Structure 1
Amino acid sequence: MEINRKIRSKKLSTRVDLTAMVSVSFLLIIFFMLVGELSKPKIMDLTLPNSCDISCGPIGCFKANRFYTILLDDNNKIITYFGLLELPIQSPKELQYGKNGIRKELFYINKKVREYSASIGKPNNGVIVIIKPSKKSNYANLVDILDEMKIANIDSYSIVDYYTPEETKLLAMK
């Protein structure tokens, strides 16, 4: 006599191996952390002059003893003057980029303006630099001059694309 036995299948383990999932998760976390860090905008602080520092009227701009103008032209040419071009405190001169050129001049002018401002009771007033790139100047020149502003600790500067007729003549002469 045979006993009718049911054949039962052997139960397998239902354990899932998550090793590959953990590896992929860590790779994704690292990827998004890296992308997030690289996508942050790299900017340079730009502090513009207060509206009370520059007040222009029918006879011209006031507080010209704080204005230092930088004209950028082609072939890495820099022409600067201190004050107003009509009545300059310092005559226009041509400078070069670098520590013995424009950087040295910026340190000197900023020191003199701060000393003068401290003598009249306004110790935090530094020089106001007006940067005027010409149509012939390149983008690298503008970036270089902005780097010089940062290195020389110039707090207040502005980029202006307007040239007066006198400034155009000055660029043509030098």
Structure 2
Amino acid sequence: MADMNITTPKRKGVQSLRKKQSTKVDLTPMVDLGFLLITFFIFTATLSEANVLKLFLPAGEKKDTKVAASNALSIILDQNNEIYYYEGAMQPKGENIIKTNFKNISSLLQSKKQQRNDELMVIIQSTDQASFKNVVDILDEMSIHQIKRYALVDLDNEVKNILRP
């Protein structure tokens, strides 16, 4: 523990007004307490679990899936968080492509899900300039709205030419 030694020097004939005090602090109990606290917090802490998006990929063979144009919704992710979508088949000059944002795409997906239920097929395309975060966000929207049928596909050259004339 802590010791305090008080010594008064004795001189011949002159009394000293100052007292010399020497302190010695033993830190061994404090170190023990520190290790006990560290051990306690390590054993009682819960490790955070990673939030992982489950993505099921088809096994082996590639098969073309036939979808009616009335049930198809195509979403195109572009740079600067821009999102385009069109329903059904794309018109030759892209007149049916509509520009939107994530807030509106969420409500669009919800309404299409209510209208078509399990028949809705969402086709997700992204440009080379689209951020990875946007792809993850749109996949999150698929799981939030419980859309079971969606596909990540390469961007068509027609769509590239329409977006970047």
- TM-score by length of structure 2 reads 0.61
Give 1:108's aligned residue: 111
Instruction: Report which structure shows greater RCO (CA 8 Å, sep ≥6).
Output: 1
| Aligned residue runs from structure 1 range 59-78, under 5 A | 62-64=66-68, 65-78=70-83
Equivalent position to 1:46, from 43, 55, 58: 55
CA distance in 1, matches of 2:78, 2:38: 49
Cα displacement string for residues 30-73 of structure 1 (whole angstroms, at most 9, x for unaligned residues): 42563x622x331123356899xx953xxxx5223433211101
Higher-Rg member (1/2): 2
Give 1:131's aligned residue: 124
| Aligned residue runs from structure 1 range 159-170, under 5 A | 159-160=152-153, 162-170=154-162
| Aligned residue runs from structure 1 range 112-123, under 5 A | 112-114=115-117
Q: Structure 1's 167 and 50: CA in aligned 2 closer, same or farther, altered over 3 A?
A: farther
CA deviation after TM superposition for structure 1 residue 132, in Å:
1.4
CA deviation after TM superposition for structure 1 residue 26, in Å:
7.0
Report the 3-state secondary structure (helix = DSSP H, G, I; strand = E; otherwise coil) of the residue aligned with 2:164.
Answer: helix
CA distance in 2, matches of 1:170, 1:80: 13
CA distance in 1, matches of 2:115, 2:146: 14
Could you tell me the percent identity over the aligned residues?
24
Query: How many pairs does the alignment contain?
Result: 133
What letter matches 2:51 in structure 1? K
Give 1:149's aligned residue: 142
1:172 has 2:164 as partner: yes
Gaps of 5+ in 2: 1-30
CA deviation after TM superposition for structure 1 residue 158, in Å:
2.7
CA deviation after TM superposition for structure 1 residue 167, in Å:
1.4
Gaps of 5+ in 1: 1-19, 115-124
CA contact (8 A) 1:113 1:126 kept: yes
CA distance in 2, matches of 1:49, 1:112: 27
- TM-score by length of structure 1 reads 0.58
Report the 3-state secondary structure (helix = DSSP H, G, I; strand = E; otherwise coil) of the residue aligned with 1:37.
Answer: coil
Q: CA RMSD in A?
A: 3.5
CA deviation after TM superposition for structure 1 residue 166, in Å:
1.1
